[in-house]
Amino acid sequence: MKYKNIVDNGKIPVLGLGTWEVGGHRSADYSQDDEIVEAFQAALELGYTHIDTAEMYGGGHTEELIGQAIRGVKRQDLFITSKVWPDNLHYADVLNAAAGSLKRLGTDYLDLYLIHWPNDRVPLEETFKALNELVERGQVRRLGVSNFNLRQLRQARQLSQTKLVCNQVPYSLFQREYVNNGVLEYCQENGILVTAYTPIEKGRVANNADLKQIAGKYAATPVQVALSWLVSQPQVITIPMSTNKKHLAENLEAADLELSEEDIHRLDQLS
């Protein structure tokens, strides 16, 4: 596994495990709990160490399932990210939301805590007052944001008392909004990670003819090529979601796939 450097001399895997819609959408789905916990445990055995989740996923149930899966795993070997929902961005609500996530995950701290979506109805100064306090308490190690545009990202960077780790946004070969709006370039210039979610467009990339041709050169899958293209870029990591053991293994292998400059340039031109 390759890593990228972050604040406080830390590092983060270039490829983590996304968990959206695992254990429910915005409310809990208990119908596949055993299978999901088994899939999470399989991911850990394969070598996944970064798990990305949120209080909103499954109405909190996803965090509970992760908590079950990581029991017995050394906490220092894991990098756990969670997110606070935009309805909970007032000062007291942030503190309560973080406490809820910690309880469901069964951990004393989060490695990274993000604002899930901006909420212009709540002053960002109030939100960061709580987030900075969580860092001071040691309940959160690092801060970041998600789905922030350039204006919002600049403001968040000013308000955070510790260096922002990332902006988590939709980014893939076919989704480049945050390239076009200047966020990616800003992050690369200021040492902020872009964490790409929905990196394989729910399987869309698997059927692209150009990707299939390039993948054939490396004895790889189109999905692996798409993931490798992302993490080959400065300040970009990604968090594909899967509970399929075969796909989990293939996604993880993509982190070590080295594409030629020619093929990276060719992929850069896709849209």
Domains located in the chain, CATH noted: 3-198+234-242 (3.20.20.100)
118-132 per-position pLDDT tens digit = 999 999 999 999 999
At 31-60, the pLDDT tens digits run: 999 999 999 999 999 999 999 999 999 999
In this prediction the pTM is 0.97
Q: Identify the pLDDT of residue 201.
A: 83
Distance from C-alpha of 253 to C-alpha of 169, rounded to nearest angstrom: 22
pLDDT of residue 7: 82
Tokens 């990332």 correspond to: 166
**Which positions of the chain have pLDDT values less than 50?**
none
CB 156 within 8 A of CB 145: yes
CB-neighbour burial class of residue 60 (10 A; exposed 0-12, middle 13-18, buried 19+): buried
Instruction: Tell me if residue 57 is catalytic.
Output: yes
Q: What is the pLDDT, as a whole number, of residue 207?
A: 84
pLDDT at 181: 97
User: What pLDDT is attached to residue 9?
Assistant: 81
Tokens of 241: 């979601």
pLDDT tens profile 224-246: 999 999 999 999 999 999 999 99
Given the residues 3, 30, 48, 57, the one annotated as active site = 57
The Cα–Cα gap between 166 and 146 comes to 8
Token pair 């945050």 in the structure block, residue: 178
